[in-house]
Every structure is written in C-alpha cells, then in structure tokens.
Amino acid sequence: MLPAHLFHHPSRVLAGCVVLALCGCASEALNQQLANSKEAVDQARIAGAAEKAPADFETAVDKMNRASAAADKREKTDAMRLAEEAQVDANLARAKTDTAQARLAAAELEKSNQILRDYHRENQNQQR
C-alpha cells in the first residue's frame, strides 16, 4: 500500500512510474542486445572464424563474456557497450572469414581456368 502523502504529489507518482518504465525498457533492450551479440558470435563460430580470424573472434567472445558478467552485476551501461562491441567484433571476424573463403575459392577457380587454358592450347598444338 502506498503512503497517503504520495497522492498529494502526483508528480512524484508519475516520476516513479516513468523510472520503472525506463528500467523495464533498458532491461529489455539489454537482453535483446545480448541475444543479438550471442547470435553474431555463434554465426561467426559456425562460419569458421575461430580458425580464419582468431584474433577478432576471440575478442568478440571475450567481450561477450564480459557483457554477460556485467549484466549479471546489473552494470547495464557497461553490459550494453560490451555487447554492442562483441557484436561488431563477431561481424568483423565473420566478414574476414567470408573474405578468406572467397579468396580461396577465387584462387581455385583461377587454377582450374589455367588448367583448361593449358589443355586447350595443347589440343590446338596437336591438331596442327
């Protein structure tokens, strides 16, 4: 039950409600960011970032762990910052992994093209 004197100052009641609403929104935003960051780290792991971009991947994992610890301690500002940074680092690791895989595929394609060119050249020389 609320003390009667609070009802004489409706602005206090309104301010209290706003604070509670903002806390709820902040918690929801933090939980969403933590989930997004974890998803980014998981996707980077699946893509092979631990092998192809280990420094960036490990940084993302470290920041994700620190963000979770900060959230557990109710350090919401630090947790949000670290979670956002973890997501960025995980996305960077994934991009570097994708780039490395694309370069490898391009090199293999170039090698195949060269083999075909050589084969075609040999066939032309044999027909003459």
pLDDT digits (tens, 9 = 90+) for 11-69: 655 555 554 455 555 689 999 999 999 999 999 999 999 999 999 999 999 999 999 99
- The predicted pLDDT at position 77 comes to 97
| CB of 87 closer than 8 Å to CB of 40 | yes
- The predicted pLDDT at position 4 comes to 53
Average pLDDT (79-95) is 98
Question: Is the pTM here over 0.85, yes or no?
Answer: no
- The predicted pLDDT at position 16 comes to 55
- Work out the percent of the chain whose per-residue pLDDT is above 90: 71
At residue 90, φ and ψ (nearest 5 deg) are -65, -40
123 confidence band (pLDDT: 50, 70, 90)? confident
Please name the amino acid found at residue 36: N
What are the residue boundaries of the structural domains of the chain, listed by start?
17-127
Question: Rounded mean pLDDT of the chain?
Answer: 87
Give the C-alpha separation, 3 to 69, whole Å: 37
- The predicted pLDDT at position 12 comes to 59
